[in-house]
């Protein structure tokens, strides 16, 4: 993923918001059948379909 600044330059709130938005996009991809969770991965990994 890419952000408009390096990850190390983002503050804690910006990081939290970026991760929350990325997670929402990922949930949408899974829900619409465009991605799936890779079984047996911890933390969970996902792949595109």
Distances (CA, A) of 28 to 12, 25, 32, 40: 24, 5, 6, 21
Give pLDDT, residue 34. Answer: 98
**Cis omega (within 30 of 0) on the bond before 43?**
yes
So what's the pLDDT on residue 37? 96
pLDDT given at position 46: 96
Q: H helices of 1-49, where?
A: 12-31
pLDDT of residue 48: 96
| Domain ranges (residues) in the chain | 7-48
What pLDDT, on the 0 to 100 scale, is given for residue 31? Answer: 97
What pLDDT is attached to residue 2?
Answer: 80
Q: Which residues of the chain have pLDDT under 50?
A: none
pLDDT (0 to 100) of residue 27: 95
């Amino acid at each position: 993923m890419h952000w408009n600044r390096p990850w190390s330059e983002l503050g804690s709130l910006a990081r939290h918001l970026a991760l929350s938005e990325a997670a929402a996009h990922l949930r949408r991809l899974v829900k619409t059948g465009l991605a799936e969770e890779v079984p047996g991965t911890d933390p969970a990994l996902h792949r595109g379909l």
